[in-house]
Every structure is written in C-alpha cells, then in structure tokens.
C-alpha cells in the first residue's frame, strides 16, 4: 500500500482534481488523503467566527459562498450542473448546526472542530464520486470512524492502538483497493468530531501509512520539493534533494511550510520514506525524507508570520522560571495557544506565540495569576538554521528586531512586521 496526500492548493479547482486523477491513475493499492479544497478551512473558520459573534445571518451567507464555490467545481468536473446528494447532505447538516445549536463559549473548540471538518468531508465526497464516474473505482472512508483521537479539540493526536483495528478493518473489508479519506479529522471517544491542528492532513496521511505499514508516503505539493526557504519570500530558494527525519522535524517545527511537524514521528517509527513531490510534474523527483540522509548543511530560512509577543512580569517578583512556569504554560495550553519561542530574565518572560482569538482571554487569566501582561501583536519569527555571515547580514540584522537568540547552528529573531 502507498499513501498519497493532496493539500487544499492542489485540489482548489476542477483542473486540480483532474490532475489528481492523472497522478493516481494506474495505482492499484493506494490510500489517498485529501484536504479541504482551496481556502475552505479558512472560510469555515469564518463561519465559526460569525457564530461566536452571534451573527447567524453572516454565517449563513458564508455557507452560501462555500456551497457555490464547491458547486462550481462539481459542475466543471461533470461538465453540467450536477447535484451530489452526499455534498448536499453535508451542507444541510452544517447549516442546521449553525442555525439550531446556540453558541456556548465553554465548548468553543468542540464547535470549531465540528464546523471546519465539513471542508474535508465535502472535498473527499466530490473527488470520490467524480473519480468513480470516470472509471476509477474507489472506497470513500469516513476518517471520523477510523481515527480515534485524544479528547482534545482543535489539536488532537490520533491514538494508534485504538485506531489501528478500525482502519485495518475498513481496508481489509473492501474489494476496491483505492481509498479516499479526509485529512485533518477524527473523533474522540465520546463520538465528537476532532481536528488534528491546522494543516494537519499531512499528519493524517502519516498515521494511515504507519497503521497500514505502507511502503511509502507522498505529499503532492505546489513546489518542486522541499526548498531551503519559501520562494515567495526569498527568491534565491534552492531545493533540497534528501533530508533525514530529524532535520525535517526541526524544520517543520520552526515553521517551514513544508509539512506538518506531527507527520514525521509515525513515519520514522516504521521507517517509511516520505516523498514531497510537485503535483504539476508527475515525473519530477522532489525531495526524499528517510532515516539515512546526511544532515543538511545549507542555510535554511524560515519566516513564521501571524505571531504575537506576550510580555509577562510576575507582579510579586517571584522568579518566573522556577515558580511560575507551569501556571503560564497550563494556561496557554487551555486556550490552545502555541508558543514558538521563550525568552526570560528573573521576573520577565517573553513568549512569541501564534496569533489566536483567545489571546486576550488567556492574558486575563494570567493577570489573575499575578502577572502584568502586555501583548504586542503583528510580529513575526525568523529562524535561520546553519546560518553563516552572508545570511546573517542579509536577513538577520534589522532595526525591527525585538528578540534575538542564537546557538551555534540556529539563530532566531522576533521582529515587528514590515
């Protein structure tokens, strides 16, 4: 069995779906994991935001836009107006949920998961039905019934022991050997839908590969493979042909938009190679990731946008690291706020965190816990691994820098946005 993963960009329109067909054609034992089409997850986050603000009419308008976007793709694929019952059922379910279930702040993350999961449910329904219509028999898998996750909304991990028998049974019971399943989603033991973290479809594919002992996993992307920088920001970016698991996980964790950081462990645990290949060029080699590649030595430049700087000072002057660390991190964890860099002195703690709609609430909590808290929003985090004098002078030195941290290989700066 091979596992392929297609991200939202690769299936953002009908041509993308037709290209997916070209790529999978001829494969006989294949599990395909697909994300939501284009920017659908962002649009569904918009639906959730409207509900959070009590704007149900706004949420309905956004659902209409999402529906129209998918219908355009469906009609293009089938060459005529073509209603798909399963897609219509999902849209109706989302709509019903939005208008009939009142927003409850104490269950915000659960509601978020239930809302955004429709992106993948709809994309896989369209792709599965269209593939069948053009002669590629396939088995649509509801990953909510195969992935049992932690009881943790918005950023759950898949529980391998519980999920393995479910996924294996689903696969063993099917005559058809091409499977189409959703990335990003699963469900907790109580049956509620969970999501695995934004961009988590890579991780879904890796877990499928692990459970099914796949021979390989391939992520089909809109780049030629893994590059040493984002070519949209750094025009002299170069492709890396081979990477080992450890370097890849470090890169991903620093924010390289290549692969979700949780992807590597399930693959490494079973020594499954991962290929990152361009979906526009089936013949191109891309990047191979496995346990054997040498360490990368070229500089790798990673810019993480949409960060905030949280500045904390313990009001009673207790030492932040010794006495306050657990309180800070358990509070941030409760609001699902991800920390990307830590900088401390005796009584000050500065954290570069992902932007989040719950940051103000978390700050309030921390004030109650005895901190003075300031938030500086709109910062970014730049990381350079294997930095050298050239990359230092070209990218790091800047009057915008607020924090600079370095060890022998890696330098990181938090700076204001340009």
Helix (H, G, I), strand (E, B) or coil at 208: helix
Q: Which of residues 25-44 bind ligand ASP (CB under 6 A)?
A: 35-36, 41
Place of tokens 């924010």: 255
Contacts of 30 (CB under 8 A, 6+ apart): 1, 2, 3, 4, 24, 177, 178, 179
Please report whether residue 198 would count as binding ligand ASP according to CB under 6 A: yes
CB-nearer residue toward ligand ASP: 220 or 395: 220
Binding partner selected for residue 290 from Mg ion, ligand ASP, none, CB under the kind-specific 5 to 8 Å limit: none
Phi first, then psi: what are they for 112, rounded to 5°?
A: -55, -50
d(CA 99, CA 306): 31
Q: Which of 38, 200, 278, 286 binds ligand ASP (CB under 6 A)?
A: 200
Alpha helices in 27-159 (DSSP H): 40-52, 56-78, 85-100, 108-116, 118-133
Binding partner selected for residue 16 from ligand ASP, Mg ion, none, CB under the kind-specific 5 to 8 Å limit: none
CB-nearer residue toward ligand ASP: 206 or 332: 206
The helix (run of H) or strand (run of E) holding residue 280 is none
CB-nearer residue toward Mg ion: 41 or 125: 41
d(CA 281, CA 212): 27
Stretch that binds ligand ASP, among 96-104, 199-207, 355-363, 405-413 (CB under 6 A): 199-207
CB-nearer residue toward ligand ASP: 10 or 308: 10
CB-nearer residue toward Mg ion: 41 or 182: 41
Label residue 109 left, alpha or beta by phi (over 0 means left) and psi (-120 to 50 means alpha): alpha
d(CA 90, CA 350): 43
CB-nearer residue toward ligand ASP: 180 or 320: 180
Please report whether residue 7 would count as binding ligand ASP according to CB under 6 A: yes
Stretch that binds ligand ASP, among 124-132, 143-151, 198-206, 234-242 (CB under 6 A): 198-206
Please report whether residue 149 would count as binding ligand ASP according to CB under 6 A: no
CB of 36 to Mg ion, least distance (A): 5
Please report whether residue 154 would count as binding ligand ASP according to CB under 6 A: no
First to last CA, the chain: 46
Binding partner selected for residue 119 from Mg ion, ligand ASP, none, CB under the kind-specific 5 to 8 Å limit: ligand ASP
Binding partner selected for residue 10 from ligand ASP, Mg ion, none, CB under the kind-specific 5 to 8 Å limit: none
d(CA 335, CA 351): 15
Q: Which of residues 84-143 bind ligand ASP (CB under 6 A)?
A: 119
CB of 162 to Mg ion, least distance (A): 25
CB of 183 to ligand ASP, least distance (A): 5
DSSP label at residue 196 = -
CB of 214 to ligand ASP, least distance (A): 18
Decide: 356 and 385 in contact? Cβ < 8 Å: no
d(CA 234, CA 337): 28
Alpha helices in 221-276 (DSSP H): 245-254, 264-268
Please report whether residue 181 would count as binding ligand ASP according to CB under 6 A: no
**Residue 124: CB atoms within 10 Å:** 28
Binding partner selected for residue 183 from Mg ion, ligand ASP, none, CB under the kind-specific 5 to 8 Å limit: ligand ASP
Measured between alpha carbons, how far is residue 13 from residues 200, 350, 392 in Å? 21, 42, 40
CB-nearer residue toward ligand ASP: 52 or 198: 198
Site residues for ligand ASP per CB under 6 A: 7-8, 35-36, 41, 119, 183-184, 198-201
């Amino acid at each position: 069995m091979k596992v392929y993963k297609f991200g939202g960009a690769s299936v953002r329109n009908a041509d993308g779906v037709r290209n997916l067909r070209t790529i999978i054609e001829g494969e006989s034992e294949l599990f395909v994991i697909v994300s939501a089409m284009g920017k659908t997850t962002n649009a569904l986050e918009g639906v959730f935001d409207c509900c959070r603000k009590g704007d149900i009419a706004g949420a309905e308008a956004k659902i209409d836009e999402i529906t129209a976007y998918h219908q355009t793709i469906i009609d293009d694929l089938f060459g005529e107006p073509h209603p798909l019952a399963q897609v219509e059922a999902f849209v109706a379910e989302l709509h019903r949920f939005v208008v009939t279930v009142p927003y409850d702040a104490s269950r915000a993350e659960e509601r978020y998961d239930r809302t955004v999961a429709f992106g993948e449910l709809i994309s896989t329904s369209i792709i599965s039905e269209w593939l069948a219509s053009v002669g590629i028999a396939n088995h649509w898998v509801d990953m909510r019934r195969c992935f049992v996750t932690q009881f943790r909304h918005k950023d759950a991990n898949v529980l391998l022991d519980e999920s393995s028998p479910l996924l294996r049974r689903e696969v063993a019971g099917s005559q058809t050997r091409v499977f189409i399943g959703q990335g990003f989603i699963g469900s907790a033991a109580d049956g509620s839908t969970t999501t695995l973290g934004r961009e988590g479809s890579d991780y879904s594919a890796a877990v499928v590969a692990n459970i099914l002992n796949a021979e390989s996993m391939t992520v089909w992307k809109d780049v030629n493979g893994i590059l040493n920088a984002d070519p949209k920001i750094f025009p002299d970016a170069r492709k890396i042909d081979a990477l080992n698991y450890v370097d890849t996980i470090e890169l991903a964790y620093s924010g390289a938009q290549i692969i979700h950081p949780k992807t590597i462990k399930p693959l490494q645990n079973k020594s499954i190679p991962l290929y990152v290949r361009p979906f526009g060029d089936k013949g191109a080699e891309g990047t191979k990731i496995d346990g054997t590649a040498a360490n990368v030595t070229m500089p790798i430049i990673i810019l993480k946008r949409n960060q905030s700087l949280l500045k904390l000072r313990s009001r009673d002057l207790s030492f932040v690291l010794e006495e306050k660390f657990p309180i800070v991190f358990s509070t941030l964890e409760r609001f699902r706020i991800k920390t990307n860099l830590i900088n401390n002195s005796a009584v000050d703690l500065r954290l570069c965190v992902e932007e989040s709609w719950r940051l103000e609430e978390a700050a309030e909590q921390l004030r109650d816990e005895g901190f003075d808290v300031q938030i500086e929003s709109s910062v970014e985090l730049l990381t350079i691994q294997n930095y050298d004098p050239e990359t230092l002078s070209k990218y790091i030195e800047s009057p915008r820098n607020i924090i600079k941290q370095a060890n022998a290989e890696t330098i990181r700066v938090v700076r204001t946005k340009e």
